[in-house]
Structure 1
């Protein structure tokens, strides 16, 4: 008889709970699903379910993450060359989540990754708004990589926000009025959006008032084993570059890190939260889902200067000396030659750390585009 280790038994229990929960959510939907029925389906006690997932919302998010992570992604199926063609392919890929003919209402919502009725509190909605800002940045960086080289780089964040608004809106409509709208028309509409001149620039008004970073020469003992969510590979924190540690409520500041970075410098955005069960899973679900779509359209080189880490255990935060973390955390360090040469905390931290000039102890005040 094979005796399972404790870790193996815990994983088996977790898998049983996820399978039972998926059946329950498919049959009854999120609102009417019952943890007691999930425990019964899994042939476990209610306590065993809660020992793995502290709430029904945490369990629902875990089911969606499991679905997304096990979906096939593979290499880009095509090699689109223009922003219009890229957006058309991306939209068609994203729209594969729309409910299928014959899906039950509850099953269709699960396939759609619906969060309607799940985020029923102000905090959850606030975090979701920040995550969508990060999603738009990731899509925009990929779109910008399709543009010809220019003296003033093209910014595509507002275009990405517009595309995601259209696609997310189609998802909500498919949930409330299934069958309405043609996915091919939506994909063509997204492609045509690339021709709109949105006069998109990055000039935050607060940058001239950001407090300077603290220059230093601190030893840098980087964490190991963390994954880059964009590429799927391990992150080498030993390389020179900017590291921005952002709470789930400050994810919009990721663009500040990307735009402020010096030419050719590596930018690592690290997401932290003090609620990994729900807030952390919400961020992981949305980012994993989006990146799964992006990987099917863009080559990894589109984000070669940007890395994204979901640091549930706050290993990076601990390595740079942060101990009191919450969803409003915003800190950054600049690493050079194996040492931390600049530190900043609070609003504008990424800009402050990136633009600090260790050679003369000053920090430039001009905003970068």
Structure 2
């Protein structure tokens, strides 16, 4: 008999708990599911469940995230969604219908605040895709409005079964592409952001990202991702690393939203129109935090570095850090402080 390592045993236990949780939620719904019921299905003690997951919400979101990641991997690499903004938005809405969260899942302020910011990030990425397909102006407002209509439709579909006509929801969201152009960029405060500090440092560990901006953001500051994305010079890559001070509680929520976004892009947006923004979470984001010199990331963390030729050439912290790192003048030769 092959003896499993400790890590393998832990992974097997987590997989068993997730399978039991999936069955419990499917059979009883989120509200009526219990940790005791999940433990019984898994053949474990209540303590063993809590040793692997923070609680019922973390389990529920982890189940949804795993399903969303699996669905995203199964989606075709090149979507047949649409080649115009209106067609793509309709495809986005069809891909997202029914993907809302029960209201009682987000039953505290930290979770609600994090979810609002995750939706800001989702609206940014979807809006950028619509812009790349030709929608004039800043399309973040269009994407955010579509997500708002979807959330209302999902809520009514649960609260008043039979009332929501999904075809009407799609048709209504298509009309959002006719909204007046949103010129709300750049933000006025960016003119007053302190410049990034020029440095010359190796990337601390592992392979360095490509030339561009690496933006580290806590889950309460994700709206700031637009700063690095909009301010980065043409051809510069942008990596946004998501961190949280409550990984056991909030990381599953972030994982779900990122997986849902990935699946939506794959199903609804042609490959060339997908924004070249790299989103990181978990160990990869923690490595970026270490590279940015943030030992204990929080949900309010905001920092950025500029990378050229595999070296960190500029650093910025605080509000506007992504913009500051993006606009600092650098060349392909590593910048050195005076």
- Aligned position for 2:242: 271
Q: Establish whether residue 353 from structure 1 lines up as the match of residue 336 from structure 2.
A: no
TM-score, structure 2 length as denominator? 0.91
Distance 2:93 2:30 in 1: 27
Distance 2:176 2:260 in 1: 22
Deviation of 1:198 (Å): 3.8
> Mapping of 1:14-93 within 5 angstroms?
14-71=14-71, 72-78=74-80, 80-93=82-95
- Aligned position for 1:139: 126
Runs of 4+ in 1 over 4 A off after TM superposition: 358-362
Greater CA drift, 130-139 or 289-298: 289-298
Deviation of 1:292 (Å): 0.6
Quick check: which one's helix share is greater? 2
Distance 1:256 1:311 in 2: 22
- Aligned position for 2:307: 335
CA contact (8 A) 2:79 2:270 kept: no
Alpha carbons of structure 1 residues 79 and 186: separation in structure 2 relative to 1, 3 Å: closer
Q: Establish whether residue 253 from structure 1 lines up as the match of residue 253 from structure 2.
A: no
Q: How many residues align?
A: 331
- Aligned position for 1:154: 137
- Aligned position for 2:109: 122
Distance 1:209 1:264 in 2: 25
Deviations 1:216-263 (A, max 9, x none): 112223545xxxxxxxxxxxx342101100011110000011011112
CA contact (8 A) 1:242 1:334 kept: yes
Alpha carbon RMSD of aligned pairs, Å?
2.2
Deviations 1:153-194 (A, max 9, x none): 732111111111111111111121122121111111111211
> Mapping of 1:272-291 within 5 angstroms?
272-291=243-262
Q: Establish whether residue 298 from structure 1 lines up as the match of residue 269 from structure 2.
A: yes
Deviation of 1:128 (Å): 0.8
Q: Which residue, out of 188, 213, 216, partners 2:196?
A: 213
Deviation of 1:303 (Å): 3.5
TM-score, structure 1 length as denominator? 0.84
- Aligned position for 1:227: none
Deviations 1:119-173 (A, max 9, x none): 111111111110000000010111111018xxxx732111111111111111111
CA contact (8 A) 1:223 1:319 kept: no
Unmatched 5+ stretches in structure 2: none
Unmatched 5+ stretches in structure 1: 99-111, 225-236, 363-369
CA contact (8 A) 2:241 2:288 kept: yes
Deviation of 1:2 (Å): 4.5
